Structure 1
Amino acid sequence: MSTHTPSLRRRVTLTVLGLFALLLVLVGIAVDVALGAQLRKDLDARIADRIQRATSLAESGTTPEQLVSALNGPGIRVRVTTADGQSYGDPGVPSTPDACPPPPPAPGNGPIPPAPPCPPPGPPDAAPTIVTRDLPNGSSVTLLGDTAQIADVRKELREVMIAAAVATLAVAGVVLYISIGQALRPLQAMTAVARQITAGDRGRRLRPDRSSSDLGQSASAFDGMLDALEHAETRERDAAEAARLAEADTRRFLSDAAHELRTPVAGIQNIAETLARDDGTRPERRARFTELLVTESGQAARLVADMLELARIDSDLPPNTVATDLVRIADNEVERAKLLVTDLTIERTGIDTAPVTVDPDRIGRVLRNLLNNALRHTPSGGRIVVEVSTTATEAAVTVTDTGPGIPDAERERIFTRLVRLQEARDRDSGGSGLGLTIARGLARAHHGDLTCEPCTSGAEFVLTLPLQSA
């Protein structure tokens, strides 16, 4: 279904001109009627004045001829009829308002002249005004107000008003067409912006200076629509990029995991084949191979367990939390670490209690991973410090050591899966490259975080967790 899109400029111009023409017609009719009424009123006033004058002149003994001469005037015709029936003045004026004038008397014994014609019928505004009054001397006077002049004046006025209306409408049409074109410039700007956006310039906007006006509201709605479309496009692009990166990470993870498992699996296979070929003549060799088999299978089992733990973290399964003391968890891990080494100084500092709601086993695993890394990379005679502190909303455990430290460029990369720092960690040292990834995932699953902070000597890891709400 197509949208009806007429020319807005033409429609508005014709509508305004139509209303203007109707207004001019109404004004013209009002002026014509008012002028006709006023001219009639003036004529009636002049006739009434002559009637009074005729009465005064008749009382003073004025002759009929003098009376006719005194009453005649522009637009007024007079007829005086004496008591004996003699008529003086204009023979075209009837003796009564409703009768045509009688034929004039014949002079002497001559033929009787034809009667003058009655006033021709015409439009209402051309109908003459006829007034007859009896005078004190027994005669009567009839005054005929000729309205032909009134009709001529009104006709001329109508012609002038029609010509003026046509000229006014023509000028108004031109002015309206230009003015409406100027008023519609914002719409043309919207069209230009839409075309530029279609051409690829997604950042263009109308930005109206008055958003409360009609065009301002349209421009604001247009900008809002463009913002929503751009945000949707950005979200779709980001989602596609995230999906691409996730797929790449998954492929890389599977490739790295397969590579990591290849070494222990290959070792297990080689040892098993060697044991299968052993003829039992060297029992000490069998014991050594059995020990290696246990070591390789344990490494493979740890790697598989770490991968399963990452899968659980990625599935966003909520941890089984209980109210506990973070200091107690830290003390337990510090005591365990002290049993593993004797040539390092390990101590726990800070506050004596930090109530949190966590899964003690998983938070213990995070601290165990941090301490294992510190034990692995701190040289003999070094020092490891575990400090527990709190703020208004968080509890923090800071683990620092006096090892070689971590370069600033690598402080975030070490939390990536299967990443080892060449100078600090390798496969032979026992690290799978998943420990810190799992530790950070467990911290964030408890609405906390694990970060590696810059340190002048050694490494510094900070585990933050929300304090238990009161």
Structure 2
Amino acid sequence: MNRTPTPSLRTRVVATVVVLFAVLLLVVGASVDVVLGQQLRRDLDARLSDRADRAVELVDSGVSAQDLVQALQGDAIRVRITTADGTVYGVPGGEPPAQGDRPAAPNPPSGPSNAPTPPGPPNPPAPRSDSLEITKPLPDGSTLSLLGDTTAIADVRQQLRILMVGAGAVTLLLAAAALIYAVRRALSPLDSMTSVARRITNGDRGRRLLPSKPKTDLGRTASAVDEMLDALEDAEQKEAAAAQAARRAEEDMRRFLADAAHELRTPVAGISALAQSLQRDAEHRPDRVGRWSELLVGESARASRLVGDMLDSVRAENTSELELTDADLTDIARRTVERAALLSPQARFEVDGSQPVPVRVDVGRVEQILSNVLDNAARFTPPGGRIRVQTGADSQAFVTVDDDGPGVDEADRERIFERLVRLNSARDRSSGGVGLGLSIARTLARAHGGELVCAAGPTGARFRMTLPREDR
């Protein structure tokens, strides 16, 4: 698995900004250096032009060449004047000649001569390559050469460069320190997020980041982390609930098997004892054979009924076996009550349902639900007591069964629907049944998308079954 690159965000931000700032300072410093150099050269060029114009004025006023050199020389400007006869005054690059050293003009020979021409003054040294020079003829026929020395300009620029480098370095250090502080403050929410994440890792699953500004960059990140944590917590809860449900189902199955074995032990033991009695004493006690046979049939029927109830309890959870048809819940209730009245003549049954209640159900299974509920009600209703059945519909179709029995305590109204559960008070083993009827009834009701609950009735217990309503 490739690792996600996670460089230091603080280091990257500070380094990036410092580098950009250094580049900006370099560009600004280079621009200032170039602009300043150009401006200083323009100033020097302007001074040379002013000196040349002044030289013309001085020559017009009769100033000698030597005095003219003295007047124009200085301020990084060298002056050279070449008169019409070739005499040079004030060689640029050297010191101006003194007043007593002024060269005299040579007297030309009066006639032709073969003597060699005396050498003139030495040529001036070549000007600096970056110096400025202006040459201008003067009104008296001489030539003026002005040389602007750029050494001072170079010195100024060099000093400025050193100053800018030093100031830039100090500025970068201060900017880096300020950036480190600012980035640390700006990224402090990340430290909070890290702290919360570690607390969650250590077991505090309910803690969240809860960003104050969810629309910012860090806010969106924090919101995404909270959503991820919610999803993980929900998944953990579902997994825990599923594991708990699986453990509960396994425990229920083990208890069911243990209770079923216990329930089957009595009829099986009775069948075994009666069979042994018939085998051993049938010839010696023929008067007891009929009674033993009757008891044997009864125990066999009891065992068969228990096994059938167990199979019904398992089959009730399989919704694929339901044969759904359109039916009238009121009609189903009336038919079921008629059969219950024949089986329990000691109780008085009443049906309240004048309107048809359309439903789409497995009629046989719904009759089984009502038969189990009515059998339970008849078993605990005293002789002469009433069992009232009412059908109707609101948001769902419903059937209620009220009896005149002892009722069910609130704490036992859910336990009564568990498999093989008989309450210790009125619903004991002597009253009949093995504790599967109501469990089967609720399972079948839920298989239809409905529910079966127990509540307090007017005098005894009330059972209410709801089913999805079928609008026609």
TM-score, length-normalised on structure 2?
A: 0.89
How much has 1:4 moved relative to structure 2? 4.5
Q: Is the Cα contact below 8 Å between 1:325 and 1:353 reproduced in 2? A: yes
How much has 1:367 moved relative to structure 2? 0.8
Q: Is the Cα contact below 8 Å between 1:93 and 1:144 reproduced in 2? A: no
Q: Is the Cα contact below 8 Å between 1:78 and 1:93 reproduced in 2? A: no
Q: How does 1:74-93 map to 2 (within 5 A)?
A: 74-92=75-93
Which stretch has the larger CA shift, 47-56 or 20-29? 47-56
Q: Which residue of 2 aligns with 1:360?
A: 363
CA distance in 1, matches of 2:245, 2:405: 36
CA distance in 2, matches of 1:188, 1:248: 47
Matched residue type, 1:450 = L
CA distance in 2, matches of 1:93, 1:137: 25
Output one character per residue of 1:231-286: Cα deviation in whole Å (capped at 9) or x when no partner.
33222222222221111111100000000111111111111111112334544422
Q: Which residue of 1 aligns with 2:412?
A: 410
The number of aligned residues is 456
Matched residue type, 2:259 = D
Output one character per residue of 1:279-320: Cα deviation in whole Å (capped at 9) or x when no partner.
345444222111111111111111111111111123443411
Seen in structure 2, the aligned counterparts of structure 1 residues 315 and 330 have a Cα distance that, compared at 3 Å, is: closer
CA distance in 2, matches of 1:91, 1:45: 18
Q: Which residue of 2 aligns with 1:294?
A: 297
Which stretch has the larger CA shift, 191-200 or 111-120? 111-120
Q: Is the Cα contact below 8 Å between 2:325 and 2:362 reproduced in 1? A: yes
Q: Which runs of 4+ in 1 moved over 6 A?
A: 106-109, 111-114
Q: Which residue of 2 aligns with 1:71?
A: 72
Output one character per residue of 1:324-359: Cα deviation in whole Å (capped at 9) or x when no partner.
111110110122223234443211113320010001
- For the residue of structure 2 that corresponds to 1:314, the secondary structure is coil
How much has 1:5 moved relative to structure 2? 4.1
- For the residue of structure 2 that corresponds to 1:31, the secondary structure is helix
Which stretch has the larger CA shift, 418-427 or 430-439? 418-427
Which stretch has the larger CA shift, 181-190 or 34-43? 181-190
**Which runs of no fewer than 5 residues in structure 2 stay unpaired?**
96-101, 108-117
Which stretch has the larger CA shift, 420-429 or 317-326? 420-429
Q: Which residue of 2 aligns with 1:55?
A: 56
Q: How does 1:18-57 map to 2 (within 5 A)?
A: 18-57=19-58
Q: 1:428 aligns with which of 414, 427, 430?
A: 430
Q: 1:455 aligns with which of 433, 453, 457?
A: 457
Q: How does 1:343-382 map to 2 (within 5 A)?
A: 343-382=346-385
- For the residue of structure 2 that corresponds to 1:200, the secondary structure is coil
Q: Is the Cα contact below 8 Å between 1:425 and 1:431 reproduced in 2? A: no
Q: How does 1:268-307 map to 2 (within 5 A)?
A: 268-280=271-283, 282-307=285-310
Q: Which residue of 2 aligns with 1:400?
A: 402
Matched residue type, 2:37 = G
Output one character per residue of 1:110-129: Cα deviation in whole Å (capped at 9) or x when no partner.
x989848625756xxxx210
Superposed CA RMSD: 2.7
Seen in structure 2, the aligned counterparts of structure 1 residues 287 and 322 have a Cα distance that, compared at 3 Å, is: same
- For the residue of structure 2 that corresponds to 1:149, the secondary structure is helix
- For the residue of structure 2 that corresponds to 1:273, the secondary structure is helix
How much has 1:321 moved relative to structure 2? 0.6
**Which runs of no fewer than 5 residues in structure 1 stay unpaired?**
95-103
Seen in structure 2, the aligned counterparts of structure 1 residues 113 and 454 have a Cα distance that, compared at 3 Å, is: farther
CA distance in 2, matches of 1:249, 1:334: 32
Output one character per residue of 1:29-67: Cα deviation in whole Å (capped at 9) or x when no partner.
000000000111111122222223333443444432443
CA distance in 1, matches of 2:335, 2:470: 20
Q: Which residue of 2 aligns with 1:147?
A: 150
Q: Is the Cα contact below 8 Å between 1:451 and 1:461 reproduced in 2? A: yes
Seen in structure 2, the aligned counterparts of structure 1 residues 339 and 151 have a Cα distance that, compared at 3 Å, is: same
CA distance in 2, matches of 1:175, 1:21: 15
Q: Which residue of 2 aligns with 1:192?
A: 195
Seen in structure 2, the aligned counterparts of structure 1 residues 14 and 352 have a Cα distance that, compared at 3 Å, is: closer
How much has 1:74 moved relative to structure 2? 1.4
CA distance in 1, matches of 2:230, 2:160: 61
